[in-house]
Amino acid sequence: MAPPLLQLQDIALTFGGTPLLTAAALSVEAGDRLALVGRNGSGKSTLLKIAAGLIEADGGSRFAQPGATIRYLLQEPDLSAFPTTLAYVESGLGPSDDPYRARMLLQDLGLTGEEGTTSLSGGEAKRAALAHAIAPEPDILILDEPTNHLDLPAIEWLEATLKRLSSAIVMISHDRRFLETLSRATIWLDRGTTRRLDKGFAHFEAWRDEVLEQEEKDQHKLDRQIAREEHWLRYGVSARRKRNVRRLANLQGLRKDFREHRKAVGTVSMTVSEAEVSGKRVVEARHVSKRYGDRPIVEDLTIRVLRGDRLGIVGPNGAGKTTLVQLLTGTLSPDGGTIDLGTNLAMATLDQKREALDPAMPLTEALTRGRGDYVTINGENRHVIGYMKDFLFSPEQKGTPVGVLSGGERGRLLLARALASPANVLVLDEPTNDLDLETLDLLQEMLTDFPGTVILVSHDRDFLDRVCTSVLVSEGNGRWVEYAGGYTDMVNQRGAGVEARTVAKPARGEAPSAAAKAAPQAEPARRKMSFKDKHDLDTLPARMEALQRDIAKLQTILADTGLFQRDRAAFDRASAAMAKAQGELTAAEDRWLELELLKESLEA
């Protein structure tokens, strides 16, 4: 059995006097696909940074195979030291790596490579960072929330790309579908220690519940054993002194174990502050249109949203999802058509960019919006400390400045503020960002039980499937179509998922043309060969020659008339290899011919 590429044992780390990791372990072998899961704040990102060699643990050991290459994708990558995205991605390549991969991956991710790194959006920075991590095809690829800031086409591209990689992969993600698709084993980080399940994430939650149930039974047994020993201590008849002293020492040990047992982190308790019931009709849009310059955002949209509907809005980045939500909620006027809002509407909104919070503001003031020590939920005043506990904040955090909260804690804080506002319509733009899987489950249950209406923008396919009664999809050029059911139902009806929005990008330093601003959905006319095309044209002749040589060798093997009777297995292997090689040769020849014709037309 080959030794692991990377191994962590008994990792311990303490922050601010509180142990974060106590006896964590991680073993990564060639070809592994590991999902690292745990609650927000449990130390998942810290453990991965220790694995990547970026920080040192207080205790334990780290071993990496000499020469093994490791690439780590940060949640928030910093590209500022490089002038362009291409320079950043190329900096991660080794001497023997294919230099074409940098441009190919950037192009696949919708970037040209000429973008300046100081003006990138969060999504563009994440795409460049993914190309930087993947391009060298490292032995171990460590991914911390790789789907954050990505739209659905990019997430599905990433899944397909990672499936093809030979690298071992360790990943943290709140995207349940992403983990189910890629993972083969699951590492659970819980209360400072790790447990391993040699099955993918799809099997994790049932296993976790069994572990916690058994732990609760064991703790109950320990409690009863302590009670028996205390009864003996008070009322038992003295026997030999030595035996009694030992039994007393054992009791003290049991008490110590019981005191030091760290209970599993509780669950979020979510309750939305409900307003009076709205009218049956919430929104009715008739032939609505909206443009920015020559670019259509919404074109001739007619839709009706009724009380109790859960409408999901999906599309690639830049399709206009946020603008559409603003139109449907009446915060933006259409250029054409009419939008009628229903009666008695009370909307609570959680927008994608999240409302700005003063970093110095204490947590309790952020929750009460500076209005004392109470939060009003469904007409009842609740003390802010109790409301904090519902969202897994401890009483000790009441004075914690917002600026030092983790991404997941900030997500819970903003969700708590939004749900405290009386509402019968919830408008949620990317509500799943930075929330752990357990919190997502509770949010999904709350939305399902909410008697009002939900308008939801999300790239989380599993969340859309669990919550939505219908999905409104961008079909390009401002056209939106509604499908019944969740995301999977939409894909089945439509025959395809969300497609990437193609945008003609100007050269660096050149002002975007009107056509580029229009962001056409159809692929623009081809004016030059892409870097992938050039690479294929250069390498395909050698590839075809190699395939022809392989086919010749296989033909020689199969020409042996006695092979079938002498070694049936060898004959079957040779036949299968022949069929595969011939198929690859045909595909390579077709691709080469296509590129040659394209080259000739461009030269003409």
Asked, colleague to colleague, whether 6-205 and 281-351+401-494 share their fold, the answer is yes
CA atoms within 13 A of residue 356's CA, in its CB half-sphere: 1
Maximum average pLDDT range among 181-190, 316-325, 504-513: 181-190
Mean local confidence (pLDDT), 572-595: 79
First to last CA, the chain: 59
> Is the pLDDT at 238 greater than 60, yes or no?
no
Q: What's the mean pLDDT in 218-239? A: 62
Q: What is the pLDDT of residue 528?
A: 64
- Condensed to tens digits (0 to 9), the pLDDT of residues 23-33 reads 999 999 999 99
Residue-wise pLDDT tens digits, 64-106: 999 899 999 988 888 889 999 999 999 989 888 888 999 999 9
User: 383 falls in which pLDDT band (50, 70, 90)?
Assistant: confident
Residue with tokens 């060898």: 570
- Cβ neighbours of residue 488 under 8 Å, at least 6 residues apart? 461, 465
Binned at pLDDT 50, 70 and 90, residue 276 comes out as low
Higher pLDDT, 527 or 596: 596
Give the pLDDT confidence of 101-155 residue by residue, as tens digits: 999 999 999 899 999 988 888 788 999 999 999 999 999 999 999 998 888 999 9
Which helix (H) or strand (E) covers residue 254, if one does? helix 241-260
| pTM for the predicted model, two decimal places | 0.69
Structure tokens at 190: 């819980």
pLDDT above 70 (res 274): no
Given 3.40.50.1010, 2.30.110.10, 1.10.287.380, 1.20.1250.20, which CATH number is that of 531-603? 1.10.287.380
| For residue 50, pLDDT beyond 60 | yes
| Distances 463 to 118, 262, 546 between C-alpha atoms, Å | 33, 31, 47
Angle at 321 between CA 452 and CA 331, to 5 degrees: 65
pLDDT at 233 (0 to 100): 59
Name the band, by pLDDT with cuts 50, 70 and 90, for residue 231. Answer: low
**Percent of the chain clearing pLDDT 90 (strictly above):** 36
Q: 384-412 pLDDT, tens per residue?
A: 888 887 777 878 888 888 877 776 777 77
CATH no., domain 281-351+401-494: 3.40.50.300
Q: Is the pLDDT of residue 516 over 60?
A: no
Residue-level pLDDT at 42 = 83
- Quick: pLDDT tens for 421-466: 778 898 988 888 777 787 788 788 888 888 889 999 999 999 999 8
CATH of 6-205, picked from 1.10.150.20, 3.40.50.1580, 3.30.70.100, 3.40.50.300, is 3.40.50.300
Lowest mean pLDDT among 14-23, 347-356, 380-389: 347-356
Contact 255, 229 (CB under 8 A): no
Q: Where are the domains of the chain?
A: 6-205, 206-260, 281-351+401-494, 531-603
Q: Is the pLDDT of residue 524 over 50?
A: no
Supply the pLDDT for residue 286: 94
Question: What is the pLDDT confidence band of residue 232, given thresholds at 50, 70 and 90?
Answer: low
pLDDT, position 66: 92
Do residues 274 and 451 lie in contact, with contact meaning Cβ atoms separated by under 8 Å? yes
